[in-house]
Amino acid sequence: MKTISELAVQGVQKLIPYTPGKPIDELERELGLANIVKLASNENPLGPSSKVIEAIQNSLTELSRYPDGNGFALKQALAKKHQVSSAQITLGNGSNEILELVAHAFLTPSDEVVFSQHSFAVYPLVTQAVGATASIAAALEYGHDLDAMLTQVNNKTRLAFIANPNNPTGTLLSATALEEFIGALPETVICVLDEAYYEFIADKDRANSIDWLKQYPNLMITRTFSKAYGLAGLRVGYSISSVEIADLLNRVRQPFNNNSLALVAAEAALDDADYLKQTIALNNQGMKQLTSAFSELDLSWIPSFGNFVSVDLQQTAMPIYHALLKKGVIVRPVANYEMPNHLRISIGTEAENQFFIDALKAVLAESD
Ligand SMILES: *Cc1c(COP(=O)(O)O)cnc(C)c1O
């Protein structure tokens, strides 16, 4: 007789679940430490915008009602911001849900999905969960090798995932290279351009990717409120695509996939330009602070366009990760991304960054 596990579909039997950053509470429980700094999940170190908190407080009395299942107000606000129609927008419970919806809408076990080595862990997850086959292209200096990815496209390929900037490497593709890639893809391959860190890219380096949607009906762009907008705990992300793709995603999503607090919070966050500006400024300063410290320690890092940076410790990173935990610092090991000597550090406040730098210096001195 089959065990319960053997009853699961093939892809799920072999699936290794996503490893999130260690929660602060968990480390507190384990070590009894009080001052813990978490720089492990690319969260916004400013905490939520005060406008968001106010909007949530004002909507608490409506909690007994179902949320607006169509997210009318938020979609309108996003449509206005991005100069697209509301019908092109799909809201997700985090942009992670959008990635899952795409897989459900487009993949069967006989399909293939192309993405890069060292790219976001959710791509293999959603691919495998529906029994499709991942076709992973070797990276080029930790970034996407678009030519290699194109070479792996065949008539079974249904999806291509690209994270730009990429997590956990922070690498960025140029607008020109990216558009060329999208243009070269067969129209039967849906290109998911994951722009979770878009807001952190300097203006001069940014692609106006939304403009490309007019020309490429097989393109979809995902964005999130979890990173620069500081709402990771509420789970709101979205995609902008052709109306046709949005209609398909809408069929496979749950009717109330965004809760009511998340909807009002995201709308308020969109409205708070000062918060976003402050976020970017803090991130730019923090990036300098961390990378200067790495230089001082003779460590190299992957130049990053996001709100995190992966540093090469020139030794297996796991013992260093554990030693940092003991000092109350949570960062992110990336061995599961085939980067065993790197740690990914999210940019924190100046004080948090300094706490990490001091801990790292101490740990490296001890391990010498
Ligand atoms: C963080 C992240 C996301 C989105 O996360 P959500 O919280 O689900 O919106 C998507 N893609 C990448 C590459 C990320 O790093």
Question: 230 CB less than 6 Å from ligand 1?
Answer: no
Q: Are 148 and 138 in contact (CB under 8 A)?
A: yes
Q: What angle do CA 192, 196, 201 make, to 5 degrees?
A: 110
- Going from the C-alpha of 340 to that of each of 253, 320, 344, 359, the distances in angstroms are 36, 11, 11, 20
Per-residue pLDDT of the chain (368 residues; tens, 9 = 90+): 889 989 988 888 888 888 788 888 888 888 888 889 999 999 999 999 999 999 999 999 999 999 999 999 999 999 999 999 999 999 999 999 999 999 999 999 999 999 999 999 999 999 999 999 999 999 999 999 999 999 999 999 999 999 999 999 999 999 999 999 999 999 999 999 999 999 999 999 999 999 999 999 999 999 999 999 999 999 999 999 999 999 999 999 999 999 999 999 999 999 999 999 999 999 999 999 999 999 999 999 999 999 999 999 999 999 999 999 999 999 999 999 999 999 999 999 999 999 999 999 999 998 77
> What is the chain's alpha carbon radius of gyration, rounded to the nearest angstrom?
21
Give the integer Cα–Cα distance in Å for 48 and 35.
20
Strands of the sheet with 89-92, listed across from one edge: 89-92, 237-240, 219-224, 190-194, 157-163, 112-116, 133-137
Atom 11, ligand 1: residue with shortest CA distance: 196
pLDDT at 244: 97
Question: 162 CB less than 6 Å from ligand 1?
Answer: no
Domains of the chain, residue spans: 4-47+274-367, 50-271
| Of the candidates 344, 359, 361, the residue with the CA atom closest to the CA atom of residue 21 | 344
Q: For the domain with range 4-47+274-367, which CATH number is right: 1.10.533.10, 2.60.40.60, 3.90.1150.10, 3.30.230.10?
A: 3.90.1150.10
Which class is 50-271 in CATH?
alpha beta
**Could you tell me the distance, in angstroms and rounded to a whole number, from the CA of residue 113 to the centre of ligand 1?**
18
Atom 14, ligand 1: residue with shortest CA distance: 196
Question: 239 CB less than 6 Å from ligand 1?
Answer: no
Q: Do the bridges between strand 190-194 and strand 219-224 make them parallel or antiparallel, or are there none, so unpaired?
A: parallel
Name, in order, each residue with C-beta under 8 angstroms of 248's C-beta and a sequence gap of 6 or more: 105, 106
Ligand 1 pocket test target in 99, 120, 239, 336 with most atoms within 8 Å of CB: 120
